[in-house]
Amino acid sequence: MRKLIDKLYVKQELEPDELKELLIAEENQRKGLLQEEQISEYLFEKARQVRHEHYGNKVFTRGLIELSNYCKNDCYYCGIRRSNTGVARYRLNKEDILNCCQSGYDLGFRTFVLQGGEDSHYNDNMMADIIYTIKSNFPDCAVTLSLGEKEYDSYLLYFHAGADRYLLRHETSNPQHYRKLHPEEMSLTHRKKCLEQLKEIGYQVGCGIMVGSPFQTVDNLVEDLLYIKEFQPHMVGIGPFIPHHETPFAAEKGGTAEQTLFLLGLSRLMLPKVLLPATTALGTINPKGRELGILAGANVVMPNLSPVSVRKDYELYDNKICTGDEAAECRQCLDLRMKSIDYEIVVERGDFIK
Ligand code: 5AD
Ligand code: FES
């Protein structure tokens, strides 16, 4: 297995069969079936080496602002899906959002991520105005959008208003698997088309997956890695699937921290310069998840800047961490956590390096 990891380290790619072999070895290791060597540790060592070449021990931070938990979609895994009538729905207005940015700025955030369900309340002009105002008030900051699937013209308008980056996880690159996670009206083809358009417009673009989502196979993960390699995103979001009690997947098993970390390590080796967050979902299933994510090759953390009053309502999955903490507490907590593993959160935009 070490040979395959060495090959990936040198070539930044592997044959599908080789990726599959590694993923199966990780699975066996997790099940206690693999006696010989700790392949994960070896992978993480290499991944850290690569991340240190490009980013040293810097950790970039992004302030996540959860605009709205209204959503027109009905993804089977997601806690804020439209069919979940148990959610107290909320929307932040422009002033709320700018207040979040101001407190974030004071805490050293230089990227703001505007994330929300697909909520048509914010029409294109409203969104463009919000983006433009953030960029005018905080000219040294980047704005990342995570607002789902939109028309090309909307993406273009937001870009011209000043948005820098866009996150849109593809969730799975296998059409049959995609179908099992989403209702009929959504399609992988459209999602991929959006990703292509975002890239063409000039955004720094992030795709990504949930690890251990229902029906996911090792072959699906191989396909995901190949798609990610081919698409060459600037960012990749990889977190464990965590069941939400009011969704059709309430009784499904969640993803494991071990497998998530393994995929982070592989992603770092395949895309050496990628911006790779140690996700909140990873921090939710393991108390040291974010630290372990950084040690597996991640270089970004995304604490929450949303007003504490709405945080518990943006519940994509159960037991999400930090829903009761002020932004300042998370900032300080993450500072300490990163220092404890000899990494350092920096006050920078943290752009993709060409
Ligand atoms: N568990 C983990 N991640 C989830 N997401 C949505 N629902 C869940 C869940 N139950 C992720 C999706 C989406 C991102 C914003 O959150 O991958 O793209
Ligand atoms: Fe929020 Fe630790 S990051 S409290």
254-311 pLDDT tens trace: 999 999 999 999 999 999 999 999 999 999 999 999 999 999 999 999 999 999 999 9
316 lines ligand 1 (CB under 6 A): yes
Atom 4 of ligand 2 has which residue's CA nearest to it? 330
pLDDT digits (tens, 9 = 90+) for 12-34: 999 999 999 999 999 999 998 87
| Interval between CA 54 and ligand 2 midpoint (Å) | 27
pLDDT for the residue numbered 308: 95
**Ligand closest to CA 325:** 2
Taking the alpha carbons at both ends of the chain, their separation in whole angstroms is: 31
Instruction: Round to whole Å and give the CA distance between 188 and 323.
Output: 31
DSSP lists the bridge partners of residue 65 as 114
pLDDT for the residue numbered 344: 98
pLDDT for the residue numbered 36: 65
pLDDT digits (tens, 9 = 90+) for 72-111: 999 999 999 999 999 999 999 999 999 999 999 999 999 9
**Ligand closest to CA 330:** 2
Q: Which atom of ligand 2 is nearest to the CA of 301?
A: 3
Task: Give me the percent of the chain exceeding a pLDDT of 70.
Answer: 99
pLDDT for the residue numbered 38: 84
What order of strands is seen across the sheet that includes strand 58-61? 300-301, 58-61, 344-345
Q: Is the pLDDT of residue 218 over 90?
A: yes
Banded pLDDT at 35 (limits 50, 70, 90): low
77 lines ligand 1 (CB under 6 A): yes
Pocket perturbation via mutation, ligand 1, pick of 113, 235, 317 by most ligand atoms within 8 A of CB: 317
Q: Which atom of ligand 1 is nearest to the CA of 168?
A: 18
| Interval between CA 42 and ligand 2 midpoint (Å) | 29
For residue 101 the two structure tokens come to 């940015």
Instruction: Round to whole Å and give the CA distance between 200 and 202.
Output: 5
Q: Which atom of ligand 1 is nearest to the CA of 78?
A: 7
* Cα dist from 297 to 56, 170, 267, 273, whole Å: 11, 21, 8, 10
Name the average pLDDT for the chain.
97
Q: Is the pLDDT of residue 234 over 90?
A: yes
| Interval between CA 242 and ligand 1 midpoint (Å) | 8
User: Can you give the pTM of this predicted structure?
Assistant: 0.98
Residues 6+ positions from 70 with CB-CB distance below 8 Å: 80, 89, 91, 116, 117, 119, 121
| Interval between CA 241 and ligand 1 midpoint (Å) | 7
322 lines ligand 2 (CB under 6 A): yes
pLDDT for the residue numbered 220: 98
What order of strands is seen across the sheet that includes strand 204-211? 63-68, 111-116, 142-146, 165-167, 204-211, 235-240
Atom 1 of ligand 2 has which residue's CA nearest to it? 330
330 lines ligand 2 (CB under 6 A): yes
- What domains are defined for the chain? 2-346 (3.20.20.70)
Instruction: Round to whole Å and give the CA distance between 152 and 201.
Output: 9
pLDDT for the residue numbered 245: 98
Helix/strand/coil for 10: helix
